[in-house]
Each structure stands twice: as structure tokens, then as C-alpha cells.
Amino acid sequence: MDIPADPVQRAFLGVEKSVLDNRWISRLDQAGQNRALAMSQMHGLPDLIARVLAGRGVSVDEALEFLDPTLRSLMPDPYKLTDCETAAKRIVDAIRTRQQVAIFGDYDVDGASSSALMYRFLSHFGVKSEIYIPDRVFEGYGPNPAAIDQLIDNGARLIVTVDCGSTSHEALAAAAKRHVDVVVIDHHQVTHDLPQCHALVNPNREDDLSGQGHLCAAGVVFLVLVATLRLLREAGHPEARSIDLLQWLDIVALATVCDVVPLKGLNRAYVVKGLIAARHQGNAGLAALFRKAGLAGPVTPYHFGFLIGPRINAGGRISDAALGSRLLTLEDKAEAEAIAERLDELNRDRQVMEANMLQEAEAEALAEYGDGSGASVIVTAHERWHPGIVGLIAARLKEKFKRPAFAIAFDPNGKGTGSGRSINGFDMGKMVRAAVEEGLLVKGGGHAMAAGLTVERDKLGRLRGFFTERAQKTVAALVANETLKIDGAIGASGATIDLIDRLETAGPYGSGHSQPIFAIPAHRIRDARLVGEKHVKVTLEAMDGARLDGIAFRAADTQLGNLLLNSRGANVHVAGSLGDNHYQGSRRVQLRVTDAAPAK
């Protein structure tokens, strides 16, 4: 887990206020430096790797295991999850008696991955199953009574909900009324008021003591399948010995990265081992998407999160939500290629829609809040927006204004579907739940960093006022003390492929285990130019003549982009993360620029 910033530390390189209003500080305080030194001395780790681990809360005793996470050491007994044994036994019964199974999933990457995992497992044992993904616009999130009735009418004798179902009281009651069992496998927050079902496996239910609440739904599904396979092998099922669950860890890793769950404990093992599986490209659907995305080099979490995830999500956002889960179940390469092509087209359509919506949202935000410096929460709304894209708009607004932000799409009847994204330190989900209690929202919920809501048009003004009052003091304090934590300073000559390879041993990086940020001090900007429509490419040059290429994504027309473009020939402190760029068979170092400040 990343160590909180200490704002009283001396500013790194003297940067009290960067172009993005960040105060730069060292990630390691004195205690952290001592821990890194001990780690290096006891385990023989390179100093830089020890510093990265120490800065992310890894203890001296944990270091070696952290660098080599294994499923064997990190996977709990699945039965420690409440109801897992009950769920596994019911699935075994469905396999043994050849009952038809319906799999009800969510419309995001985690839901698609979870559905595909369950489908592949059941198919191995010859069980007929159907995946049902609800329409985001017309059905919304989670099971609904009409869909449940349809699945039962189609012949389902067992319904397994994945990445949803923990709060679907009405829908699950409808299944019980028709004497069809439901097994819920989920990870979302849930109160003590549980729905009527045969089993509810959710490490975030109040009576679960497994300590696995950080898992995404696909990670929980995998544990349920481990338990189910154990029972089948104990019973001597003839097909139980010929199945290898590890072959599907690429799907689990995809979901873990895209659902932005903390990369700690079992999640680290899922991703590390899942990336190995993904590089073999045994999943026809993933391999087809890799080709469509123009993947160069070995698969990384970046590829999952920024190239593959958006394409799978595109179906659920603006078209057929079942395309993603269907793709991940395929063995036929031709069919996989066709669906990957369709998802790629939808993703391009989504990008165009997002760009148009973002332009309107930014214009509204500027009119309503000016430069945003006096705002505590940004709330934008429009009648023509697509409800499947509002979450992306909220994320972009949060990045631009550095404030919690919401985007709301209203239908012709005045009902608004909105999504919000928060900044570190502010619990957005709690604020949304408070708005529900105040009667300002039809419904709403979420967690600290993201939330969803439904609001009537005539209450939008009151909602804006409520959010502003609720968030004002906390957000103002967070913005005033905003810092960028720096892992160390390196020159252009020190940014090598060998360094990148060493840093990767301390990865994968993501939520709860952030990418290392390095400062490149007082380098001359030899060149800076726009590439594509939104990005700024720079070449940094040290006093010894060594050069380092960098790119600031989506920086055009931003303060960061303007500083870089207008500082050709000047010395600038630049901060960012190191990565490699595969091009025409060569591998080169590239800095992903996240911040900068004039070098005094």
C-alpha cells in the first residue's frame, strides 16, 4: 500500500508549486529510507528497487515474497469465504445432473471476465449455459425480475450472478418464487440485509472474515471454481483431472487491472501469473483484441487497462453489452476476429462521442465554475449525452479541474443517470449515499473514488448545492496540500532499458501500488511538438549531451503542454514514469511526463 505523503517535508528539487500546482516531495521520509537500506543490505536488493518497495509500504520481511508472488502462498482456502462451500456444492450438483445454468453478469470488463470464466468452466463439463448481460440504458445494473423470468423460461435451473446480485432483492425473490436457485458471486459493498438466494459469496459481506475484500469479482469467481473443482476431483468426476484453471488467469488478470482493485496479496499473484498466460495468447478473443489494438511487445498491465479494457467496455457502453463476454469465451479464431473488429469499431465510435460530450461538459463547467479554483464539486449535465459514457466524462473533468466531478445524462422524461469520480482523500460514495438519505436522489451509491446516481431534473440545483456544502472544507484542504511524490532523481543517461527491467521486478503497478515517479532535474528541452491531436512529445537533453524522449498524453491545450511547448531551449524539471516503447523491432526508453516546473 502506498505511503501517505508528508506535506512538511522539504520540497523535492525546491519545487513548491509545479505547473500543475503540485508540491514535489520525496516519497521516502527518514523511516522509509532506513527501511530501504535494511532491505537492500539484508536481501541484496538494488538500492532503487528497495526504495520503490519501501515507498509502497512493503516491509523488510515481506520483500522477497513480494517480488515473487505465488498463488500457492497467497491463495486462501476458498472455504474461508462465507458461503463458498455452499455455492461450490450447488454448482457441482448442476454439473452432476446436467442442469442448464444461466450466468447473469455486469456490463463492464470485470462482469464480462467473470461470466466468461464461469461459462468456460461449465462448458468443460458439458453443461449447457447462457450468459446474460443487461442493457446499461434500458435495464441498468444487476438482475431484474423480467430478465430472471426470461432466463427461467429459457430453461435455466440454476442462476449464477457474477459481479452483481448482492443487493438485487426483488429479482432474486422472483427466482425463489419460481423455485430456481441463485448463487451470487460478487465483490461490491453490501449491508447485513442480504437478498434471498441459495448462496452469496462476497468477501465484502459483513459476516465474511476471509480478508479478501480487495478482490474483483473475477478473482472471487476463480476461488469459487477452485472450490468446485476440489469437490469434483474428490468425487472422482472423469473430467475433473483434465482441466487446468491456471490457463484462465489471463482473464482474471484483465479484470483485476481494469476494475482498478488494489494490487496487493492475491491480486498481485493473479496479475503476475495472468500476464504470463496472456503472453502465450491462448485465449482467441484476447489475441484478436491484441492484434486490433496494435500491441507491440509483451503484454503489460498498461495494455490491459488502456488498450484492451476500453474495447471490451465499448460494447456495454454504447451497443451490445454481451459482446465482451462472448469474445472471451471463444475458441474459434475467425469468430473472435469478427467480434474484435466490431468492438474496435465501437471503441472508435465511443471515442468520437466522448470527445463531443467532453467539449460540451468542459464548456458547461467553465460557465458554471470558471477555472474551477473556487469549486468543491463539479457537476455537469446534458439532455443529449449517452449514459454509457458519463463515467468517462466525469474522469476527464476530475483530471482537468482536480475536483470531484459528476456527469449526468438526462432522458426526455427528466430522469438523469450520472456517474462521478473523486480525488484522493475524498469519499464520494459516502456523499452520494447522504444525498439519497436527503431525498435528493432516486438512488445512488458507490465507493470512495467513484459513484453512480439517478436524479430527477427538478432536483439538480439542490443537489449541486448539497454537494458543494458537503465537500467544501475537505476538498479545499486536499487541493491546498496537493503533492506529487517522487521516488528519486535520475538523469537522461541513467534512464536505461536495464533500469526499466529492474523496476518491473517490483511491479506490476496499479491501484495501491503506484507506478514509480522520477524527477529529471534541470534538463534542457531540446524539442517539443504536438503528436496526434492531443499529445505533446519532448526530447530532454542533459548537460553531458545524453537525451531522453518523453510524451505527455492528452496534454495539448493544458498548462503542462503549454509549458513544454513554450520552453524549447530552456531548462525544466520534469517528472514522470519510465516505460519502454517498442517500434519496428527496437525497444527504447520513454518517459511518460506527468508534471513539470521551470528550473531556477
- Domain shared by 96 and 239, yes or no: yes
Q: Which residue has the cell 505465488?
A: 70
Does residue 275 form part of some domain? no
- Domain shared by 117 and 190, yes or no: yes
- Domain shared by 496 and 452, yes or no: no
> Which of 449, 524, 56, 29 minimizes the C-alpha distance to 260?
449
pTM above 0.75, yes or no: yes
- Domain shared by 137 and 205, yes or no: yes
Does residue 394 form part of some domain? yes
**What is the number of structural domains in the chain?**
3
Q: What is the tens place of the pLDDT at every residue in 318-337? A: 889 999 999 999 999 999 99
- Domain shared by 393 and 528, yes or no: no
- Domain shared by 473 and 509, yes or no: no
CA-CA distance, 82 to 86, in Å (whole number)?
A: 9
Does residue 295 form part of some domain? no
Q: What is the tens place of the pLDDT at every residue in 170-229? A: 999 999 999 999 999 999 888 788 999 999 999 999 999 999 999 999 999 999 999 999
Q: What is the tens place of the pLDDT at every residue in 213-271? A: 999 999 999 999 999 999 999 999 999 999 999 999 999 999 999 998 889 999 999 99
The mean of the pLDDT values for the chain is: 94
Q: How confident is the model at residue 448 (pLDDT cuts 50, 70, 90)?
A: confident
Point out the domain boundary residue: 451, 481, 511: 481
pLDDT attached to residue 260: 86
Does residue 262 form part of some domain? no
Q: What is the mean pLDDT of residues 449-464?
A: 94
Q: How confident is the model at residue 141 (pLDDT cuts 50, 70, 90)?
A: confident
Most confident region among 227-236, 435-444, 582-591 by mean pLDDT: 227-236
- Domain shared by 240 and 98, yes or no: yes
- Domain shared by 88 and 206, yes or no: yes
399: domain CATH number is 3.10.310.30
Q: Is 224 exposed, middle or buried (0-12, 13-18, 19+ CB in 10 A)?
A: buried
CA-CA distance, 226 to 245, in Å (whole number)?
A: 8
Q: In what order do the strands lie in the sheet with 378-382?
A: 378-382, 405-410, 415-421, 450-456, 443-446
Point out the domain boundary residue: 228, 244, 260: 244
User: 3-class DSSP state for residue 169?
Assistant: helix
Q: What is the tens place of the pLDDT at every residue in 370-417? A: 888 889 999 999 999 999 999 999 999 999 999 999 999 999 999 999
- Domain shared by 474 and 592, yes or no: no
Does residue 520 form part of some domain? yes
- Domain shared by 466 and 494, yes or no: no
Q: Does pLDDT of 40 surpass 90?
A: yes
| Percent of the residues in the chain that have a pLDDT greater than 90, as a whole number | 86
524: domain CATH number is 2.40.50.460
Does residue 398 form part of some domain? yes
Do strands 571-583 and 547-552 pair parallel, antiparallel, or not at all (unpaired)? unpaired
Does residue 61 form part of some domain? no
> Which of 295, 315, 311 minimizes the C-alpha distance to 303?
295
229: domain CATH number is 3.90.1640.30
> Which of 160, 162, 161, 159 minimizes the C-alpha distance to 114?
162
Q: What is the tens place of the pLDDT at every residue in 515-550? A: 999 999 999 999 999 998 789 999 999 999 999 999
Q: Does pLDDT of 480 surpass 90?
A: no
Point out the domain boundary residue: 481, 498, 513: 481
- Domain shared by 163 and 20, yes or no: no
Q: Does pLDDT of 7 surpass 70?
A: no
pLDDT attached to residue 5: 52
The Cα-based distances of 145 to 101, 175, 177, 210, 417 in angstroms read: 17, 8, 11, 31, 21
> Structural domain of residue 433, as residue ranges?
370-481
DSSP 318-349: HS-TTHHHHHHH---HHHHHHHHHHHHHHHHH
CA-CA distance, 73 to 181, in Å (whole number)?
A: 34
pLDDT attached to residue 1: 59
Do strands 101-105 and 129-132 pair parallel, antiparallel, or not at all (unpaired)? parallel
- Domain shared by 434 and 543, yes or no: no
Does residue 562 form part of some domain? yes
pLDDT attached to residue 585: 74
pLDDT attached to residue 424: 87
